[in-house]
Amino acid sequence: MGPSSTDTALRLAALTKTFGRKPVVDHIDLEVPRGSFYGLVGPNGAGKTTSLSMAVGLLRPDGGRAEIFGLDVWADPARAKELIGVLPDGLSMPERLTGRELLRFTGLLRGMDLKEVERRAGELLTVLELDRAERTLVMEYSTGMRKKIGLAAALLHAPRLLVLDEPLEAVDPVSAATIKAILQRFVRGGGSVVFSSHVMAVVEQLCDHVAVIASGRVVASGPLRAVRAGRSLEERFVSLVGGRIPEVGELAWLSS
């Protein structure tokens, strides 16, 4: 059976992870339809990074399944991993390479043809405006540049599903527009995108599906319109996760 036999790009079923005694991800179920642009939102520490790491094979779950186009990530990692491109949050890259070297060596390690790698790398670097920093090591990149080179590495092998953890964080508005355009083009071309974000406006602008995660559980998920339930995503988010605006009188010492 090939990957085309399923309509689900990513499926998480009862995925669970416990650190110490605290369940950080608590039986999460999630279904990302093929061709969808899927937003994952939730408060800090909700378990987004942990869930995505388990979904792509970077963190071993305590329980549950993660499937990519029907392939079990943990039972058949080689085939599943060929289909995804990943941009994790806060992990290191091959730091002592320039951007171009990073793409070249990553492509070669994937077994790609050198010519093809160089062509794609050149194009990605130009589009993401990293070609101006030809001789800068990734180690010395700014936070936003790191996100961009990470995205380039994730796109290099033309995956079918992109899993991105906070791809737009610390990226300047112009580059953000570029990245959004790239991602939208990717989805139009038949790809699927899952990404986590804290910026509701971006999620509303880009996504057709969204899931809200709080305390390691999915509290709402589905098509954007359904989750929003007639309100703005931000209002809906605050009501779902039970956030609280400080009452008048608290922190009074802050006013001078």
Partner 1 sequence: MAVLLIQMKLAVLRHSMTGRRAAQMITGALTGSALAGGLIVVAGRDHPLASLPFDLLGVGFALWTAGWLLGPALFGGGDETLRPEHFSLLSFTPRRLAAGLAGAAFVGVAPLVTLVAFSALVVVAAKAGLGAAATAVGVLAAVLQLVMCVLASRLVTAVLGQVMRSKAGAALAALVSAVILAGLHSSWVLSPLAQAALRTGFPDPFSTWIAALPSGWGLVAVRAAGHGQWPTVAAALTGLAALGVVCWYGWAALLKRRLTTRRASGRPARVASGAWAKGPMTAVAARELRTWSRDLLRFHYLVFALCYALAFCLLPLAIDAPIFLPWTGAVFALWVAAISANLYGEDGTELWGKMMIPDAARHDVRGRQLAWLLVTAPPTLVLTAAMVVFTGEFDLWPWLAALVPALLGGGAGVTVLVSVLRPVPLADPHRRGGNLLENGTDFAQVLLVLILTAATAAPAYFAVRLGPVWAGPVTGLVGGAAMAWLLGRLAATRLESSAPELLLHLRTGVSPKRRRPAPALDRGRPHLPKPDLGLEKLGLDLAPTGRRAYVIASLTLCWVPLVAQGIVPALMLTTGQITRSWFLALHLPQHLQWPTVIAMIALGLVLLTTGLGIGLYYLAKSRRDGIEPDGGP
Ligand X SMILES: Nc1ncnc2c1ncn2[C@@H]1O[C@H](COP(=O)(O)OP(=O)(O)OP(=O)(O)O)[C@@H](O)[C@H]1O
42 near ligand X, judged by CB under 6 A: yes
Cβ-count burial 125-156 (b if 16+ within 10 Å, e if not): bebbebeebeeeebeebeeebbbbbbbbbbbb
The distance of Cα 237 from the centroid of its chain, to the nearest Å, equals: 19
Residue closer to partner 1 (CB basis): 60 or 244: 60
48 near ligand X, judged by CB under 6 A: yes
Q: How far is the CB of 84 from ligand X (least distance, A)?
A: 18
Stretch that binds Mg ion, among 42-50, 184-192, 208-216, 238-246 (CB under 5 A): 42-50
Q: Which does 42 bind (CB under 5 to 8 A by kind): ligand X, partner 1, Mg ion, none?
A: ligand X
Stretch that binds Mg ion, among 3-11, 83-91, 123-131, 187-195 (CB under 5 A): 83-91
Residue 215: burial class (beta carbons within 10 Å; 0-12, 13-18, 19+): middle
45 near ligand X, judged by CB under 6 A: yes
Phi-psi region of 213 (alpha: psi -120 to 50; beta: other; left: phi over 0): beta
Q: How far is the CB of 228 from Mg ion (least distance, A)?
A: 23
Residue 240: burial class (beta carbons within 10 Å; 0-12, 13-18, 19+): middle
The residues binding partner 1 (CB under 8 A) are 56-65, 74-75, 77-79, 81-82, 84, 86, 88, 90-98, 101, 104-106, 108-111, 114, 134-140, 153
Residue closer to Mg ion (CB basis): 156 or 214: 214
The distance of Cα 136 from the centroid of its chain, to the nearest Å, equals: 26
Residues that bind Mg ion (CB under 5 A): 49, 89
